[in-house]
A and B are shown apart, each in its own frame.
Chain A
Amino acid sequence: AQSVSQHNHHVILSEAASLELGCNYSYGGTVNLFWYVQSPGQGLQLLLKYFSGDTLVQGIKGFEAEFMRSQSSFNLRKPSVHWSDAAEYFCAVGARQTGANNLFFGTGTRLTVIP
Chain B
Amino acid sequence: NAGVTQTPKFRILKIGQSMTLQCAQDMNHNYMYWYRQDPGMGLKLIYYSVGAGITDKGEVPNGYNVSRSTTEDFPLRLELAAPSQTSVYFCASSLIDRAYETQYFGPGTRLLVL
Chain B residues in 8 Å Cβ range of A51? 99-100
**Binding site of A, secondary structure by majority: helix, strand, loop or mixed?**
strand
Chain A residues in 8 Å Cβ range of B26? none
What residue in chain B is nearest A36 (Cβ atoms)? B105
Within 8 A of B (CB), among A88-115: 90, 92, 94, 96, 99-108
Which listed residue (B40, B42, B101, B106) contacts A101, Cβ 8 A?
B101
Which listed residue (A49, A100, A107, A108) contacts B102, Cβ 8 A?
A49
**What total of chain A residues lie within 8 Å of the partner, measured CB to CB?**
26
What residue in chain A is nearest B45 (Cβ atoms)? A102
Within 8 A of A (CB), among B19-66: 31, 33, 40-45, 48, 50, 54, 56, 58
Residue B96 is within 8 A (CB to CB) of chain A in the complex: yes
Chain A residues in 8 Å Cβ range of B31? 100-101
